[in-house]
Amino acid sequence: MLRSRTKLIELGKRQLCRSMCKSSELTLVEVDDKTGIATLTMNKPPVNSCNLEFLRALKSAMKEIESNKCSGIILTSSNDKVFSSGLDLNELRQPNPERLATFWKELQEMWVTLYLSNVPTAAAINGHALAVGCVMAAACEYRVMLPDFTIGIHATKFGYVVPPFIVNTYLSVLPHPVVERALLQGKIFSTQEALQINLIDEVVNSKDEALCKCADFIGSFEQTNPVARALTKRQLRAPFAKQLLEDPETELRESLEYINTPLFQESLDQYLLQLKKKNKK
Ligand SMILES: CC/C=C\C/C=C\C/C=C\CC/C=C/CC(=O)SCCNC(=O)CCNC(=O)[C@H](O)C(C)(C)COP(=O)(O)OP(=O)(O)OC[C@H]1O[C@@H](n2cnc3c(N)ncnc32)[C@H](O)[C@@H]1OP(=O)(O)O
């Protein structure tokens, strides 16, 4: 009896306040009719690793949310253990040159779209957020995370140089000495450690609570003028995005050159082997 009542309340809540926006298989967008807040759910099994198609889907969902004049974006995951495992490493391994270039351009564009989004952005981090998964969360204006997960950028641990726009994402959230130590150590933080260094804003116990906190954050801008807010945000963030805005080709060229080096490819092979081995144990 109690169960079916809870179910009915849940169903009622959903019918009352959510309308569907366009969704692809890889992303799901739900817009709250009352607040205009769009929840963008990443849905690429098994672990939301970002391949070309997923980056495209994310970018296009964000652009559509903005053009529909939504009041904000909450980024979250359909997987209750993994927010995102970062770039799909298979895109970087012995790559087809054309696809790799397209992939990296999509990564740049997705990042610029999220980082400089006109609307307030918040991440409900309901699972591990690694490498570019952490970058997506850090590119949002507010982060709330569930306990017992991990977040961070561990590229140097497995032989990757951290690209400048990834460094800059950290720098716009954390003080320079903290960024330096974290990136050079390839440090992955627990939820509690992430809270201590202010990589995240709050810890909550459930995804629902995380979504509510994010909605409250977005609601806190209700009394501001959206154009003034967006332009001020852009002014504050533009220095960190300068290189990708003004000269994306150089970043692209340097990244492609680096990814194609034997050093990078060998490290990647070893790392992928480790990932697979872990699952065979
Ligand atoms: C001068 C030079 C200038 C500039 C430099 C420029 C460029 C440099 C180029 C690149 C820089 C590097 C940038 C890096 C950014 C990234 O985002 S790299 C991605 C790093 N991500 C990871 O390392 C995450 C690895 N994954 C995990 O740790 C776990 O999977 C995770 C904790 C997320 C979840 O654990 P669990 O729930 O147990 O899942 P599984 O481990 O079982 O995973 C399920 C299957 O998915 C496969 N997988 C996981 N992550 C990835 C991934 N990122 N890419 C591809 N595949 C992945 C995993 O192997 C399992 O596959 P299987 O089922 O075994 O087939």
For residue 19, the model assigns a pLDDT of 55
Ligand 1 atom nearest to 259, measured from its CA? 9
pLDDT at 199: 98
Which amino acid residue places its CA nearest to atom 38 of ligand 1?
A: 279
How many whole angstroms from 90 Cα to the centroid of ligand 1?
A: 9
CB-neighbour burial class of residue 159 (10 A; exposed 0-12, middle 13-18, buried 19+): middle
Residue 277's pLDDT is 82
Closest to 56 measured CA to CA, from 44, 74, 66, 70: 44
Q: What is the pLDDT along the chain (281 residues), one digit of tens a residue?
A: 333 433 433 433 343 345 555 567 999 999 999 999 999 999 999 999 999 999 999 999 999 999 998 999 999 999 999 999 999 999 999 999 999 999 999 999 999 999 999 999 999 999 999 999 999 999 999 999 999 999 999 999 878 889 999 999 999 999 999 999 999 999 999 999 999 999 999 999 999 999 999 999 999 999 999 999 999 999 999 999 999 999 999 999 999 999 999 999 999 999 999 998 876 65
Predicted local confidence at residue 4, as pLDDT? 41
Helices 226-246 and 248-259, axial angle in degrees (round to 10):
50
- In degrees, rounded to 5, the angle at the alpha carbon of residue 249 between the alpha carbons of residues 244 and 250 is 85
Q: Is there a contact between 157 and 215 (Cβ–Cβ < 8 Å)?
A: no
Residue nearest to atom 42 of ligand 1 (CA): 279
Q: Is the CB of 128 under 6 A from ligand 1?
A: yes
Nearest to 27 by CA among 53, 66, 1, 3: 53
Residue 16: Cβ-neighbour burial (10 angstroms; 0-12, 13-18, 19+): exposed
Residues of the chain by 3-state class (helix, strand, coil), percent to 5: 55, 15, 30
The CA 229 to ligand 1 mean position distance, Å, reads 35
pLDDT for 13? 39
Tokens of 171: 């720098």
CA distance 113 to 125: 19
Atom of ligand 1 nearest to the CA of 87: 17
Cα distance between residue 99 and residue 79, in whole Å: 27
Tell me the whole-structure pTM to 2 decimals: 0.93
Which pLDDT does position 280 carry in this prediction?
A: 64
How many Cβ atoms are within 10 Å of 102's Cβ, its own excluded?
Answer: 15
Structure tokens, 132: 């570019």
Q: What is the ipTM of this complex?
A: 0.95
Using a 6 Å cutoff on CB, does residue 163 contact ligand 1?
A: yes
With a 6 Å cutoff on the Cβ, whether 77 touches ligand 1 is: no
Q: What is the CATH number of the domain that holds 68?
A: 3.90.226.10
DSSP letter assigned to residue 163:
P
pLDDT value of residue 281: 58
What are the tens digits of pLDDT across the range 73-97?
A: 999 999 999 999 999 999 999 999 9
Q: How many CB atoms lie within 10 A of CB 148?
A: 11
Q: Which two tokens stand for residue 268?
A: 């990647």
Task: Supply the range of the domain harboring residue 68.
Answer: 2-280
Question: Considering just the CA atoms, what is the radius of gyration of the chain in Å?
Answer: 19
| Tally of domains in the chain | 1
